Amino acid sequence: MTLPGTLIIARHHESEWNKKGVWTGTRDAHLTEYGFSKSNEMGALLKETRIDNAFASMQVRSIETLSCMLNVLEFYHVPTEHTHALDERDYGDYTGKNKWEMKEMLGEEVFDHMRRDWDCPIPNGETLKMVYERVVPFYINKVVPLLQAGKNVLIVSHGNALRALMLYVESIPNEEARNLEMLFGAVVLYQVDAEGKMEKKEVRKVESEVNA
């Protein structure tokens, strides 16, 4: 059975730390001027879509992106909630370090394994598996009941948190996680079944260039 509500997901747009090419993780960094502009464009992609509830992480770049999207749509009274369950992956000791310098230091194979794979540890940080273990229960317990009630739900979060969610929603095997990406500027709309699994997917996007 296809649930009557629509799940909508979007990644925050360019932050000040994205622009510098450094890992932000759980740190706060505001959107750049470009990030604000593109967040407005992302909101415009939903101009024909009703939004009943909205969620973001506790991090300011996610909250700013959500605010831009709702403001451009003039959806000023949509109930919104911020939750740690949707926070970005904790990059631990790598937080604040330049990604491309780290790639040179670690080597491409180790770098890609650490960034992309399912259960690769970071010193004092999280694996994608650990992110999955907080994102998916939140989705099942909080979001799916809203979809069952016919609500359209917008989630604005981060690259790894959304990759974790997409692994569940799209029933993607863990070993294929490295091939999964949630692009900047993309807004994805899902129709899902009673378990919150994808039955139909639509991707809308704005042109974006982000150093991340």
The DSSP result for 117-160, as a single string, is STT---TTS--HHHHHHHHHHHIIIIIHHHHHTT--EEEEE-HH
- Marked catalytic residue, from 12, 13, 82, 158: 12
Place of tokens 């491309």: 100
Nearest CA-CA partner of 158 in 75, 88, 73: 88
DSSP H or E segment with residue 135: helix 128-138
- Marked catalytic residue, from 14, 64, 88, 126: 88
Distances in Å between the alpha carbon of 95 and those of 2, 47, 80? 40, 36, 28
The whole-number pLDDT of residue 159 equals: 96
Domain 7-205 has CATH 3.40.462.10: no
Task: Give how far the C-alpha of residue 185 lies from the chain's centroid of Cα atoms, to the nearest Å.
Answer: 11
Place of tokens 């990644």: 11
Radius of gyration in angstroms for the set of CA atoms belonging to the chain, rounded to a whole number: 16
The whole-number pLDDT of residue 122 equals: 94
Active-site residue 64, yes or no? no
The whole-number pLDDT of residue 24 equals: 96
Taking the chain (212 residues) in consecutive chunks of 10 residues, what is each chunk's mean pLDDT?
97 96 95 98 97 98 98 97 98 95 93 94 96 98 98 98 98 96 96 98 96 80
The whole-number pLDDT of residue 211 equals: 82
The whole-number pLDDT of residue 88 equals: 98
Active-site residue 82, yes or no? no
Question: Is the Cβ–Cβ distance between 86 and 155 less than 8 Å?
Answer: yes
